[in-house]
């Protein structure tokens, strides 16, 4: 996710620094860099990694956690651990392969990217989806971020079952 989204944002003219627990750039250095931090780590590592984001930072949480009995809630865990941060749930519904493609237009429609979080934070993150050729939309406040996590868990289940998620979610017709 970091490689795909980061490359897309670089191509759109943004400065991007990828950090990690191994490699030349530390998590702390990456956390201090720029004005938006993408958390592209396993959901179980979210709280630990958030410790490297300075007070008041703006964070994009793209993580998913599918558990044997359903879905975990990394967004709620992040907000509980760091109430000083503004966290936006976004980019978690689409497979990472989409970010490696030259275009995010599927079936003639740009990929839509729902986002949930504090409205001012969503307003800051939305242009980052537009920069990737996507259609961002504010899907509601932080109290409903868990719905995006449950939707991802459901969609991932469909993919693994070989089913067509788009067909399942067809809107009312006629």
Residues of this chain that interact with ligand NAP (CB under 6 A) are 1-2, 20-22, 40-43, 45, 48-49, 62-64, 92, 95-96
CB of 65 to ligand NAP, least distance (A): 7
Task: Using only the alpha carbons of the chain, give its radius of gyration.
Answer: 16
Which residue of the chain is nearest ligand NAP when measured via CB?
63
**Nearer Cβ to ligand NAP (23/174):** 23
CB of 94 to ligand NAP, least distance (A): 6
**Nearer Cβ to ligand NAP (37/63):** 63
**Nearer Cβ to ligand NAP (67/103):** 67
């Amino acid at each position: 996710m970091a490689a795909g989204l980061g490359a897309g944002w670089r191509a759109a003219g943004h400065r991007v620094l990828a950090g990690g627990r191994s490699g030349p750039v530390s998590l702390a250095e990456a956390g201090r860099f720029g004005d938006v931090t993408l958390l592209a780590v396993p959901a179980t590592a979210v709280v630990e990694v958030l410790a490297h984001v300075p007070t008041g930072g703006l964070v994009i949480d793209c993580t998913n956690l599918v558990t044997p009995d359903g879905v975990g809630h990394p967004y709620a865990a992040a907000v509980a651990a760091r109430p000083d941060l503004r966290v936006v749930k976004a980019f978690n519904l689409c497979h990472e392969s989409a970010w490696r493609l030259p275009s995010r237009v599927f079936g003639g429609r740009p990929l839509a990217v729902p986002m949930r979080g504090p409205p001012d934070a969503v307003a800051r993150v939305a242009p980052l989806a537009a920069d990737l050729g996507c259609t961002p939309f504010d899907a509601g406040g932080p109290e409903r971020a868990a719905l995006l996590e449950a939707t991802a868990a459901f969609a991932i289940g469909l993919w693994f079952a070989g089913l067509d998620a788009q067909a399942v979610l067809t809107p009312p017709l006629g």
